[in-house]
Amino acid sequence: MKCQLVPVNRKYARCTVCLRLARHASGDDNRECPGEPPPPMGLGDMVKAGLNAVGITQERVAAVFGSCWGCPERQQVFNEWGAKIGIGVDPSRLPG
């Protein structure tokens, strides 16, 4: 199945099924659609992505301090906290 693209603006379109962005003139409109959107990012995943974006990676923390001191466990705890307030949860599973 091909992506079902809907224009977002003059440059981009978004697939209504997998939610991926595509440029109008790039030929992305003929790509295969995976059929479902990626799972939502949890709060811990968002914090990790934000820190990675500014160059604070687990590898750099370990290089400076000798260890990451529970980064994966902390990420999981943040994901659980976020899920309690609806961050990173599939919208169909939210109450009311």
DSSP conformational letter for 21: E
Amino acid letter, 34:
P
Whether the CB-CB separation of 4 and 16 falls below 8 Å is answered with yes
Q: Summarize pLDDT for 25-57 with one digit per residue, the tens.
A: 555 556 677 777 777 889 999 999 999 999 999
- Would you give the DSSP letter of residue 37? P
Distance CA 13, CA 4 (A): 9
What confidence score (pLDDT) does residue 47 get? Answer: 93
* Domain locations along the chain: 1-38, 43-89
d(Cα 26, Cα 51) in Å, to the nearest integer? 31
- The structure's pTM equals 0.60
Q: What is the DSSP pairing of strand 12-15 with strand 5-7?
A: antiparallel
